[in-house]
Structure 1
Amino acid sequence: MKIVHWTIYYFMLVNFHVIHSNFIDSIRFLDSNEVNENSDCLLSPVILIPGFGGSKMEAKLNKPTAPHWWCSKKSDYFNIWLDYHPVLSFDCWMDNLKLVYDPETRKTKNTPGVVTRVIGWGSTESMEWIWIFGAYFNYISEALVNRGYIRGKNLFGAPYDFRKGPNESTQWFQNLKQLTEYSYGINKNTRVTFIAYSMGGRMLLHFLQQMPQDWKDKYLERTITLAVPWGGSVRPIQAVSVGYDLGIAVFPNDKLKEMSNTFPSLAYLMPSKQFWEPDEALVIMDSKSYSLENIDEFFYDIGQPQMAEIRKDQSVYNNFTAPGVEIHCLFGANIPTAERLYFKSGFNSKPVILDGDGDGQVNRRSLWGCRHWENTPAQAGHAVYFKEFKDVNHLKILYNSESINYILKIVTCDAN
């Protein structure tokens, strides 16, 4: 069985890099000397912020129990997120990564005996390559380096525990503020550019909403966002109710559900009232339908009351106030994207996915959210730009030549 899994893994990895090579060829690279000849162009320091699943994590074990006899109960730190472990033993991996919700504190914690940590703070390397995804922020990083950027000098990363929502990310917000001020200071007080992908854009928005306008005007040049679910997405409802395998068939959906429904971040990314009508059906049964008005009933009905409570905790963070900084919103479209789930034969059946437009993960209405900030008081006069890339899916925007060239033109003053 392990041989089969490794064969599938190898096949996916090889094909992934063959596909990616076709895109990177059309990115316009420049020698760093060519960039630096233009003395009027100051390179704005860049901080990359990943999306859900885009941060590497390590775990250390000292567990009293384990799901199976072959699962390790004691270990030093090892890479836990999307390494070879889920292929070799899915139940062991899932038990180490899932969270436990405490209804008293309304916070989550790891499985007893598991200590986790996000690695690579300030670095881009930990988010450039993610197992299964392959190249994650790598092509954007390499493109920036080929335009004169230097990792650790004016190119940084801000990974976070993507399992959790903003209510458990206070330390990350503080660290991001310090990293922003640091990168500004060591680059001769040059204002910073954030490049945030998917969930990272939502986390960044919440950070910017907390910061005073004079701080943003001093330290920030702009924000570039990629495929951000500003108003949430229907896909997380699928993930926590029946499981979602990220399009990778080696991951069993029923097992993924057991882990996913412990992640507050997925509740954080569910549809919000700013973008969905209160009575608009999200889940349809033969005898009942669920919308934002009664979606918590859905979680109780499928035996996941903790997800209803977690969603209440995260709903207070569906603040859509403008960020108050120049923003460039880039996203894909024209890809079938789940708009609602239809269960023909009860909750235990596989739902029919009723599609609408989007990037395959995020609904179009949510991707376009930034356009609502134009000329709003909270935007404080800063410009809002948005660009749609046809037939570019949620992950592909990270290595699509058009989106990367857009970024390069903005941050490197490239007029070509």
Structure 2
Amino acid sequence: MEAPAQEQHRLSVPLVLLLATLFFTGAPSAAARGEAATPSGLHPVVLLPGFTCCQLDARLTDEYEPPPSSPGCGARRQGRGWFRLWENYTALQADPALLPCYQDQLRLVYDPAAGDYRDAPGVETRVVSFGNTRSFRFDDPAQNDACMERLVEALEGVGYREGANLFGASYDFRYAPAASGLASAAFSALRSSLTRLVERASARNGNRLAILVTHSFGGLYAAEFLSRAPLPWRRRHVKHLVMLGLGVGGSPLILQELFGSTFSLLPSPKVYGAAPLVVTRARNYSAGDIPEFLAAAGYSDDEVARYRTRALPVPLDFRAPLVPMTSVNGVGVPTVDKVVYWDGNFTEMPRVVNGDGDGIINLEGKSGNPDCNLEAVLALQRFVGDDPDQPYFKSVLIPNRTHNGLVSDELGLRSVVNEIMEANRATSF
């Protein structure tokens, strides 16, 4: 949300196409606060998916003006009610000309008076099916690998049931959490809705504490949600956080293409230090040089300032959730470690240098500083596992498992369900 999407043409991959392709410490038997699950009941699970799994509806008002490059955008939609804006593969496959229309209608604009982002003029949007998992099912079966439908099925296989003890919390992925204290209406609304959902899930299940299970970008939202929730509330309502496919400190992959929410996933200086992440003939850019990189890529002074004030403080201020936590990540898959724009042309596809990871989230994040040699996934050990107030932290690394494989293939699903069931069985501290 830190860069208006109408100004995001400067880097190479179109927004919609990019989104469509992406994206131990403590005793192992005591994983959470609250009562242990009994044989007759499970702790409720609330799923927060990755952003490719969050579906959005939209409707166009008379105020909507199509982009000059695609004057026909909206002609069939204006004033005709809600339609599926994201993800709508069936419509795009039937009519590829809709791609620039959907990209224009997904963009956000910054309102200086409100100090916040909003939909483009003439576009109204809503999240599909908050509270349940129905929005995790797509019209294109191939997209289920990137979503949570197979995880839902696996949980149903061990006794979970939709609306009884299994819930979904989709969100508008375009609005990343802003730094604490700044206007962020969309994230504030999500926090309120998610608070009520967790409380309702707990109440429906004999006041058993809820287990939050996240995938990819959903982990960022859950971590910020928990860090901003009162500690007594966390201990009263949340048994465990199971975070799949997200390290800490961002990913160099995001440097290939920037749009609003990804600003909060840019590599953090706190993790990557002085390691070169963007390489050009003229100079290299580290995580600490991202403002200069954004300027060189064509972003305005105002946009760079919003990165500094709205986005950067979020990863810099990452804190332990202070509820029991398990992190599950794939490793052993080639993953972008740095990007090369040798001629300094940021409108072209870069060459990439790969390291280890899950194909999206990289494991290695060497800083070039012998006193700071962290890893994007294993940095969680420092920021969570080493916090004396964190009740429990466990890191699970699954060899040769991709980012989406954690929630789609047999081995990934079996490992994830095992961790959720372990959290169910854990006794109180």
Give the TM interval when normalised to the shorter protein. 0.7 to 0.9
- SS across alignment from 1:317: helix
The corresponding residue for 1:16 is none
- SS across alignment from 1:165: coil
Q: CA deviation at 1:280?
A: 2.1
Contact 2:268 / 2:288 at 8 angstroms: preserved in 1?
no
Quote the Cα distance in structure 1 between the aligned partners of 2:420 and 2:144: 25
Relative to the length of structure 1, the TM-score reads 0.80
Quote the Cα distance in structure 1 between the aligned partners of 2:386 and 2:101: 51
- Compare 117-126 and 393-402 and name the one that shifted more: 393-402
- SS across alignment from 2:52: coil
The corresponding residue for 1:244 is none
Quote the Cα distance in structure 2 between the aligned partners of 1:231 and 1:130: 33
- SS across alignment from 1:358: coil
Contact 2:247 / 2:380 at 8 angstroms: preserved in 1?
no
Q: CA deviation at 1:201?
A: 0.8
Q: CA deviation at 1:315?
A: 1.2
Relative to the length of structure 2, the TM-score reads 0.77
1:331 paired to 2:329 = yes
The C-alpha deviation readout for 1:34-75, integer Å capped at 9, x for no partner, is xxxx95363010000011222110000124421324322403
The corresponding residue for 1:45 is 44
Contact 2:269 / 2:288 at 8 angstroms: preserved in 1?
no
Which amino acid in the other structure matches residue 215 of structure 2? Y
The corresponding residue for 2:65 is 65
The corresponding residue for 1:367 is 377
1:160 paired to 2:171 = yes
Aligned residues: 353
Quote the Cα distance in structure 2 between the aligned partners of 1:49 and 1:197: 6
Which amino acid in the other structure matches residue 206 of structure 1? E
- Compare 340-349 and 385-394 and name the one that shifted more: 340-349
The corresponding residue for 1:92 is 101
Quote the Cα distance in structure 1 between the aligned partners of 2:111 and 2:341: 30
Quote the Cα distance in structure 2 between the aligned partners of 1:201 and 1:393: 17
Q: CA deviation at 1:349?
A: 3.4
Q: CA deviation at 1:189?
A: 0.8
Contact 2:337 / 2:354 at 8 angstroms: preserved in 1?
yes
Consecutive unaligned residues in structure 1, runs of 5 or more: 1-37, 241-260
- SS across alignment from 1:332: strand
1:274 paired to 2:273 = no
The corresponding residue for 1:288 is 283
The C-alpha deviation readout for 1:335-361, integer Å capped at 9, x for no partner, is 111111111223133321111111111
Which amino acid in the other structure matches residue 143 of structure 2? F
Quote the Cα distance in structure 1 between the aligned partners of 2:241 and 2:379: 15
Consecutive unaligned residues in structure 2, runs of 5 or more: 1-36, 179-183, 364-374
2:160 to 149, 159, 163: 149
Change (3 A) 1:392 1:130: farther
Q: CA deviation at 1:402?
A: 2.6
- Compare 83-92 and 321-330 and name the one that shifted more: 83-92
1:114 paired to 2:111 = no
- Compare 152-161 and 337-346 and name the one that shifted more: 337-346
Q: CA deviation at 1:214?
A: 2.4
Quote the Cα distance in structure 1 between the aligned partners of 2:91 and 2:100: 10
Change (3 A) 1:326 1:403: farther
Written as runs of structure 1 = structure 2, the 5 A alignment for 1:327-406 is 327-347=325-345, 348-364=347-363, 365-372=375-382, 373-379=384-390, 382-406=391-415
Change (3 A) 1:302 1:39: closer
1:133 to 143, 146, 149: 143
Contact 1:56 / 1:130 at 8 angstroms: preserved in 2?
no
Change (3 A) 1:222 1:378: same
Higher relative contact order (CA 8 A, sep 6+): 2
Quote the Cα distance in structure 1 between the aligned partners of 2:337 and 2:326: 25
Quote the Cα distance in structure 1 between the aligned partners of 2:270 and 2:156: 39
Contact 1:208 / 1:323 at 8 angstroms: preserved in 2?
yes
Structure 1 runs (4+) greater than 6 angstroms displaced: none
Quote the Cα distance in structure 2 between the aligned partners of 1:406 and 1:239: 32
Identity %: 26
Quote the Cα distance in structure 2 between the aligned partners of 1:59 and 1:143: 31
